Structure 1
Amino acid sequence: ITLRGLEAIRNADIIYLEHYTAVQHTKKEELETFFNKPIVLANREMVEVGGGNIVDEAKEQDVAFLVVGDPFGATTHTDLFLRARKKGVHIEVIHNASILSAVGVVGLELYKYGRTTTIVFPEDGWVPASSYDVIKKNQENYMHTLCLLDIKLAEPTKEDILRGVDKPQPPRFMTIKEGLAALKEMEKQQKGAVVTDDTLVIGVARIGGVNDVPMVKAGTVKELMGTDFGEPMHSLIIPAKKLHHVEEEMVRQWT
């Protein structure tokens, strides 16, 4: 967190920590000790359904809404911002680093990344091919692709939703192995030779974490399918087909 962010938190009357679009590896209790203030964990329902309450509180009190990464990294954050603006609430945005900038450690030129995509968990055996299409288009434009991997935090199953049962499931974090398996399934369906066993990919885990040891590993799809990247969160990078010689040298550091 930046010094400006730290000052804002220490001046806040109420502190929310958004707790479902990403994972904060530092425990809530540790943060409360560090800030010397109580923190309210904000789940999806509290923000997307009850976000109006947060906005109403901000009319009368100083409210800090903390997110992991960039403040506008998820649509739900933008929605909360717009609701606050419409109600005339004064907003101060304090920016921070995110996975979009942290991947710079890999050594691929950041301005050569194309559209970012998210590989989602298959449902009922169906794997959406949208990520495959993004990777293909980026490859055609000689650009790298950052693939975020799906997370499920305290969400009910589709079956429970249809039955009207609100039964949160244990958290799930897609691993690099699962993400590659999903891409291979897309390749089987699309047959575009975009992601094969010999395709160069880079796996990153826990990048930007404070207490967690990050991991970066480059290799073929086949090689990374057999690599254990440990605890979440994981992301995948599909480099462009043609790399600058400095990029090539950097990637070799991770093989």
Structure 2
Amino acid sequence: MLYIIGLGLADERDISVKGLEIVKRAERVYLEAYTAVLLVDKDVLEAYYGRSIIIADRETVESQSDSILAGADTVDVAFLVVGDPFSATTHADLALRCRQNSPQIPTRTLPNASILTAVGATGLSLYSFGQTVSMVFYEENWRPDSWYPKVKENADLGLHTLILLDIKVKEPNLKALERGKYVFDPPRFMTAAQCAEQMLETEETRAASEEGKSTGVAGKERLAVAVARLGSEGEKIVAGTLEELAQQDLGKPLHSLVLCGWKMHEMEWEFVRDFAVDREKFDEIWKRDYAGKGVQ
């Protein structure tokens, strides 16, 4: 059987008791290491679990999944996922491959905490979130804004938007590839400040464009909440305008950002304002642009 086991968000102790029992008896143990990362290294997990762990990078999971599934119809294989197993479509794809395998491989999923639910620690109601979007690193000649229409759809409904930030783990260096060498770039993790900067840049670019596609949903005075290392002892939450958050250093990864929706309830405001960079400014903008506004 293939066990897809959620590890939670922080460290080696967040695995469930059921999950740990399976890891200890499994024939092989894999750790998916590209959609998200834990706050501890592989050797810490191995010491706590008492097992050797095989790192499964993007290429292994997406192109060489047969090596993971080999023999899983007769022995137990544990596939460890940071957060919750089905927070990323990659893991749903792996489960589908088990169904389509001949012979079919039985699967079992063990859920755990995910950023999709842990973000409730901000005080924003999970019932008031719209579709989640991803923000990738902007490059010199590549600044995709496919996230913008989704944020606009959420904003039109007055809903909050959770923005998941890009991580680059074991990414090949393109210039080295051109020379026939396979070299990996150092890992990179987008910060909440970088995300806010990119959102502001896109809003400005759209405002300056002839097509006039700017809607103001990512403007300087839009309220947002930045989070870092949720679920850990060192978690950090900071609220403010996008302009303010673009200047905030939340420390080590992983970071996420939430753009507040127009329907931000008074109880949410009372909770979130305690995290504000400038509480007076936060209150002023909330009362002006959010309080009782409902759907815009």
TM category (shorter chain) comes to over 0.9
AA at the equivalent of 1:122: Y
- Return the alpha-carbon distance in structure 2 between the equivalents of residues 61 and 86 of structure 1: 18
1:197 to 220, 225, 237: 220
After TM superposition, the score normalised by the length of structure 2 is 0.81
1:70 to 84, 96, 100: 84
- C-alpha displacement at 1:160, in angstroms? 4.9
Q: Cα deviations across residues 131-186 of structure 1 (Å, max 9, x unaligned)?
A: 12111111100100000111110111445556664321110101111111111121
Moved more, 160-169 or 28-37: 160-169
- C-alpha displacement at 1:219, in angstroms? 0.7
2:129 to 113, 116, 119: 113
Which residue matches 1:83? 97
Which residue matches 2:20? 6
1:122 to 119, 135, 138: 138
1:216 alignment partner, SS class? strand
1:72 alignment partner, SS class? helix
1:57 alignment partner, SS class? coil
Contact 1:127 1:185 in 2 (8 A): no
1:66 alignment partner, SS class? strand
**Gap runs ≥5 in structure 2:** 1-14, 207-213, 277-296
- Return the alpha-carbon distance in structure 1 between the equivalents of residues 140 and 29 of structure 2: 39
Which residue matches 1:234? 255
Contact 1:52 1:83 in 2 (8 A): no
1:166 alignment partner, SS class? coil
Would you say 1:22 and 2:20 are equivalent positions? no
Which residue matches 1:207? 230
- Return the alpha-carbon distance in structure 1 between the equivalents of residues 258 and 177 of structure 2: 33
The runs of at least 4 consecutive aligned structure 1 residues that moved more than 3 Å come to: 157-165
- Return the alpha-carbon distance in structure 2 between the equivalents of residues 251 and 115 of structure 1: 21
1:92 alignment partner, SS class? strand
- C-alpha displacement at 1:70, in angstroms? 1.2
Which residue matches 2:292? none
**Gap runs ≥5 in structure 1:** none
Q: RMSD across aligned C-alpha pairs, in angstroms?
A: 1.6
AA at the equivalent of 1:227: Q
2:43 alignment partner, SS class? helix
Which residue matches 2:110? 94
2:195 to 179, 182, 196: 179
- C-alpha displacement at 1:81, in angstroms? 1.0
- Return the alpha-carbon distance in structure 2 between the equivalents of residues 174 and 16 of structure 1: 25
Alignment CA distance shift 1:180-1:125 (3 Å) = farther
| Aligned counterparts, 1:146-165, within 5 A | 146-160=162-176, 165=181
- C-alpha displacement at 1:223, in angstroms? 1.5
Which residue matches 2:56? 42
Moved more, 118-127 or 100-109: 118-127
1:155 alignment partner, SS class? coil
Contact 2:222 2:260 in 1 (8 A): no
- C-alpha displacement at 1:52, in angstroms? 0.7
Q: Cα deviations across residues 206-249 of structure 1 (Å, max 9, x unaligned)?
A: 1123xx50000001122112211000011000011232111010
- C-alpha displacement at 1:199, in angstroms? 1.3
- C-alpha displacement at 1:38, in angstroms? 1.0
AA at the equivalent of 2:28: I
